[in-house]
Amino acid sequence: MSVADYAAAQGLHRVGARPPLWNYLKQTWERRDFTVAMARFRIQAEQQRNRLGMLWLVLQPSLNALVYGTIFGLLQAGSRPDGWAAYVVIGVFLFQYFSSSLNDGARSITGNRALVQSLAFPRITLPISVVLENLMALLPMLAVMVTAVLVMGYPPSWEWLLMVPLLALYTLFNTGIALIAARLTVHVRDLTQVLPFVNRMLFYTSGVLFAVDKILASYPWLVRLYDFHPLYQVLQIARGLLMHRGEYSLHYWLYFALWSVVTFVVGLLFFWVAEERYGRE
């Protein structure tokens, strides 16, 4: 009998071994308090370094919306969609949730190397905690976004309640993206240098600052292709709900729900498979 067989017979397990997927998820759920506490601590620690503190959670995206809205509003002139100010605020605020989840998720393992190497816990809690942190940061932004939409002349309706399931799907999607980025960055550290360019490209091509049907009217095939763009879908659904634009058709919901579930499942499996390698590379 080999040493490994003898250890297994005695109920001993290799240190750092990857548990079965169900046990892995169970261990992650058991550490949910740790995940929430880490997210809360990170957001407080980051904002305490600034004089205005937590106020920057809404100031930064508001200033971005103001700058981008002014510049691109002038550039597009007659091609601007109706309700331009609300259109930009919704796009910039919601895109930042994705952008921050991608960037922070990519650094969630490599940026916590000492923690990963010294303690035994499901590493998936780290990328999940950064997505949760960004969700916490999004909540005050949503309050400002809704206030801005009201001021710009869009009254509330029952449709606004559908923002709750939309944000749930969006969080599921961002978690999958964060998990994929977290593992890739462990293997290829230079990815953190490339991600800002990826983020910027997605920002300018996801319909955050322009109406796809107007800007790309000469390319109907490209407009149809945008119907399968997950970030464009979530922005259009949100604008349809808050601005009563009727752009949240059923197929957008179905496509984005499919994107969210598939991205999360792929990200979960992709991350879990390499569990034993985190902290060793």
Residue 109's pLDDT is 87
b/e map of 148-161 (b: 16 or more CB within 10 Å)?
A: bbeeeebeeeeeee
The pLDDT tens digits along the chain (281 residues) read 554 454 445 454 455 567 888 898 999 999 889 889 888 888 777 666 665 556 767 777 778 888 888 887 788 777 778 788 888 999 999 999 999 999 999 998 888 787 777 777 888 999 999 999 999 989 888 888 888 888 888 888 888 899 999 999 999 999 999 999 999 998 888 788 889 899 999 999 888 888 888 888 788 888 888 888 999 999 999 998 888 766 556 788 999 999 999 999 999 999 999 888 776 65
**Cβ–Cβ under 8 Å, residues 178 and 105:** yes
SS3 206: coil
The enclosing H or E element of 67 equals helix 56-76
Kindly list the distances between the CA atom of residue 13 and the CA atoms of 6, 10, 96, 137, 138, in Å, as whole numbers in the listed order.
Answer: 11, 9, 42, 40, 41
**Cβ–Cβ under 8 Å, residues 240 and 154:** no
What is the number of other CB atoms lying within 10 angstroms of the CB of residue 3? 8
Instruction: Give the Cα separation of 175 and 130 in Å (integer).
Output: 9
Residue 8 tokens, joined = 């297994």
Residue 248's pLDDT is 59
98 exposure class (CB count in 10 Å sphere: 0-12, 13-18, 19+): buried
What is the number of other CB atoms lying within 10 angstroms of the CB of residue 106? 27
Instruction: Give the Cα separation of 50 and 223 in Å (integer).
Output: 42
Residue 6's pLDDT is 43
Residue 184 tokens, joined = 């890739």
Kindly list the distances between the CA atom of residue 63 and the CA atoms of 58, 59, 210, 258, in Å, as whole numbers in the listed order.
Answer: 9, 6, 18, 33
What distance lies between CA 130 and its chain's CA centroid?
Answer: 9
Kindly list the distances between the CA atom of residue 112 and the CA atoms of 127, 168, 181, 188, 267, in Å, as whole numbers in the listed order.
Answer: 11, 27, 15, 16, 19
Domain range summary for the chain, segments of one domain joined by +: 20-277
**Cβ–Cβ under 8 Å, residues 125 and 35:** yes
What distance lies between CA 41 and its chain's CA centroid?
Answer: 19
Residue 72 tokens, joined = 């691109």
Q: Which residues contact 233 (CB under 8 A, 6 or more apart)?
A: 227, 252, 255, 256, 259
What is the number of other CB atoms lying within 10 angstroms of the CB of residue 119? 9
Length of the chain: 281
